[in-house]
Amino acid sequence: MTTAPVKEATHDERAAGCGQDELLEIALGPHHPSTHGVFRMDVVLDGERVVKLKPVFGYLHRNHEKIAESASYLASMPYTDRLDYICSLTNNWAYALAVEKLAGLQVPERAEYIRVITAELTRLVNHTATIGFLTQEMGASGTPLMYAFREREKILDLFESLTGSRMMCNYMRFGGCRVELPAGWLEQTKKVVEEFPRFLDEYEQLLTGNEIFMARAQGVGILKKDLAIDAGVTGPMLRASGVNYDIRKVDKYGIYDRFDFKIPLGEHGDVYDRYMVRMLEMRESLKILHQALRDLPQGPLMDPKAKIRGFRPKPGEAYGRIEAPKGELGFYLISDGSPNPYRYRVRPPSLINLTVLEDMCRGYSIADTIVIFGTVDIVLGEVDR
Amino acid sequence: MLEEIKARLDAAVPGCRSEMILNGSPSGQHSLLLDSAHAVEAATFLRDHAELRFDYCSNVTGVDWLEAQHSPGYLEVVYHLYSMEKKRGPLVLRLRTENRTDKVHLPSLTPVWRSAEFQEREIFDLYGIIFDGHPDLRRILMWDEFEDHPMRKDYVEPDDYEYEPTAHDDILAKAKQHAMGKSQEP
Amino acid sequence: MDQKLRIELSKQGIVTTTLEELYNWGRKNSVWPMTFGLACCAIEMIATSMARYDLARFGAEVFRPSPRQADLIIVSGTVTKKMAPQVVRLYNQMAEPKYVIAMGACAISGGPFKQGYNVLKGIDRYIPVDVHIPGCPPRPEALIDAFMTLQKKIDQQTLTGEGRPRHLDPEAPSEFVVPRFGAHDLEPPNNPEVFRILNNIDSRNPGEVDAGGD
């Protein structure tokens, strides 16, 4: 933790009020044990209470958008893995979707199913990791995070056998997917999906009714519905505030209209609701996975019209978005007819969800601030790009 | 649908000169160019109108158009709006500056949609568009002492190509340039 | 001591050692890393310390949040120019003996983001690196391998003489220049005391690429 210069009280002030109204300005981060990476909050404290909080970004600004302008469309695909590096497959999908809109490509049915399967597995990975980190930040160091990572490893094994990489999958292509499922992959996935509820039950037994957890989570960091909409908050955070808005249902991108699943909604918009929405969302993801694994058809993996080399979309622009585990992940592309995009923009859910951080944290103590921040669920690679 | 919105907007906001910008790609996402003098008023109308209700501003993008594409060049801001209430969208709004050098002021839409706050700051940082009426217009990604606007197309990055393990194409050219510069120095 | 005699003595139940061996043995089996994640590689670093890969087997599970209590900084991910001064400052705050692992392509050279205007092209521009691990991101096994390499390196250090480590050499620097934010770039762009330029572009004859590299 680096400490910004503390506001020096003059001798007279100290003598008069004994520092009662003295405000303390602290820079939390960019290296701080409980933040998610290199994120900094400039906090003004009155005693232990947060009076003002200004997030400071840019410590992981890796110029993704600038680099993409000088690379071909396909060459940006591996960079999208590194945006939100916990869920690379949903990032792939969002980018592929935007380019497919730009170039008018159709995705074969089998590829759509595989996309849904990988995306929902990614959602499981993301939510387990988020809740693991959240409990770590509440002081439950070790156990819940260990359990979460144990489950995560099982899914990463699936990703590795499918795509060749644990984290940076680089699996989707414009108009389909890169490779066919390896032998035995479906059976293994079914096994993981079938065993997953056991882990969720175990986790819920540990946390959902846990008195300490409830005391730390309930009524803390409340986000009102109107503010959430105004500030563009999306994903589980928005739904925990009671807004029924899930892009899987609204846009019905891919083949999400074929599956039977529910959208869990919160009531209070506090830390506990955000935790519960994620837990319930994992169970809904498992439902989708069961259906997708059952119905997976045979067929080609790529649109025959899609060109890997010499891919030049017509001049124009397109905005494509999906429901990533963290919220609305969108890609906005402007093509000028050349092999490189003229403008390549990522709409990062993590960054925009942080708009309301100050409103949620004001009046709470530093320890609560860290917990509230944990439920926003950000990944710095996406915040700063 | 866009024609209808344009007609409503022109009727509701007197003096507003909006213009349809057609999009040639199969996505068919056409956009509406607003004049900056009436942008805030028009945005408020779009947000509050009982039938339109574009209550959610999803994405704010800066674009740099050089003289080569449009003469004279200008900077552009693109807003993607959705309606959470009516489950509709996107409506694409555009605002343009007069040029790329001195007349780079645009009205901020952060008072209308708060989700634009960080995104407009980012555009100020990387493109140098000054948003009038933004509550907290500071650099967001680069450090405060930084002077350039690196996402502009004509930005020249600092020369740190001392060591290039796998240089090729334009990186090789830059590395050679660096080596040339060094050999001339002493 | 003669190796043969040592073995003979140990058969008799007498264990002999030298101060150097004992000192290095203790040090190499309790390398405490700093809780310090930068980017994607940090997730793999966390995965390494979790149940499946279990970094505790190497005496390194105690991740310390404070640089004052840490022996090792794992630079796990892209170092941006905005972050570089903080990384150097953290390294300066660590107590000697201290070690650096550059984890992943970004920490080594900028990696895939090398062309970025805000990306530092390798942390070895400012601080000395002991072990480099390539990969994007390196697998947990690779990090464990880097750990073992570091342990070997610690084991081979001598207490006196030419090859002694930095913390036993009063002449050697322990603090390094913290770069400042300039108008266009960091100032200075690298620390010449640390940064060894392996120039593969021949400066006398630009255009000829030296295949040897080093």
CA dihedral over C11, C12, C15, C16, signed as positive or negative: negative
With a cut of 60, say whether residue A309 has pLDDT above it.
yes
Contacts across the A-B interface (CB distance below 8 Å)? 107
Q: Do A50 and A84 reside in the same domain of the chain?
A: no
Distance from CA of A348 to the nearest CA of B (A): 9
Q: Do A319 and A225 reside in the same domain of the chain?
A: yes
Q: Do B161 and B86 reside in the same domain of the chain?
A: no
Closest CA to C120 of C78, C177, C176: C78
For residue B61, the number of C-alpha atoms closer than 13 Å in the C-beta half-sphere is 28
Lowest mean pLDDT: which of A259-273, B3-17, B120-134?
B3-17
CA dihedral over A41, A46, A48, A50, signed as positive or negative: negative
Q: Do A130 and A155 reside in the same domain of the chain?
A: yes
Q: Do A29 and A125 reside in the same domain of the chain?
A: no
Q: How confident is the model at residue C192 (pLDDT cuts 50, 70, 90)?
A: confident
Q: Is the pLDDT higher at C196 or at A67?
A: A67
Q: Do A240 and A272 reside in the same domain of the chain?
A: yes
Contact A28, A39 (CB under 8 A): no
Instruction: Please list the residues that pair with C89 across neighbouring strands.
Output: none
Contacts with A101 from chain B: Cβ below 8 Å:
25-27, 29
Segment A172-192 shows an average pLDDT of: 90
Q: Do B75 and B128 reside in the same domain of the chain?
A: yes
How far apart (Å, rounded) are the C-alpha atoms in residues A331 and A174?
A: 14
The answer to whether the CB atoms of A62 and C80 lie below 8 A apart is yes
Q: What is the ipTM of this complex?
A: 0.88
pLDDT of residue A1: 44
Segment A206-229 shows an average pLDDT of: 88
Contacts with A317 from chain B: Cβ below 8 Å:
23, 25, 27, 29
Kindly report the CATH number assigned to the domain that includes residue A190. Answer: 1.10.645.10
Closest CA to A155 of A246, A88, A210, A94: A88
Contacts with B165 from chain C: Cβ below 8 Å:
109, 200, 213
pLDDT of residue A10: 52
User: How high does pLDDT run on average in chain B?
Assistant: 85
Q: Do A44 and A146 reside in the same domain of the chain?
A: no
Q: Do B113 and B73 reside in the same domain of the chain?
A: yes
With a cut of 90, say whether residue A93 has pLDDT above it.
yes
Q: How confident is the model at residue A6 (pLDDT cuts 50, 70, 90)?
A: very low
User: Which residue range(s) make up the domain with A40?
Assistant: 11-56
Report pLDDT digits (tens) over A46-68: 888 888 888 888 888 998 999 89
Q: Do A373 and A308 reside in the same domain of the chain?
A: yes
Q: Which residues contact C26 (CB under 8 A, 6 or more apart)?
A: none
Q: Residue C117: left if φ>0, alpha if ψ -120 to 50, beta else—which one?
A: alpha
Residue C68 CB neighbour total at 10 angstroms? 10
Q: Do A240 and A133 reside in the same domain of the chain?
A: yes
Is A1 a domain residue? no
pLDDT of residue A119: 93
Is A5 a domain residue? no
Segment B123-129 shows an average pLDDT of: 91
Q: Do B180 and B100 reside in the same domain of the chain?
A: no
Q: Do B164 and B147 reside in the same domain of the chain?
A: no
With a cut of 70, say whether residue B185 has pLDDT above it.
no
Q: How confident is the model at residue A175 (pLDDT cuts 50, 70, 90)?
A: confident
pLDDT of residue B61: 92
Q: Walk me through the domains of chain C, giving residue ranges and CATH numbers.
A: 18-150+166-204 (3.40.50.12280)
pLDDT of residue C206: 47
Of all residues in chain C, the one with the smallest CA distance to A153 is C52
Contacts with C190 from chain B: Cβ below 8 Å:
160, 162
Report pLDDT digits (tens) over C72-108: 999 988 999 999 999 999 999 888 888 999 999 989 8
Number of domains in chain A: 2
pLDDT of residue C57: 87
Q: Do B132 and B162 reside in the same domain of the chain?
A: no
**Mutation site for C-interface testing, chosen from B125, B146, B153, B166 by largest number of C Cβ within 10 Å:** B146
| Cα-based distances in Å from C8 to A76, C12, C19 | 64, 7, 20
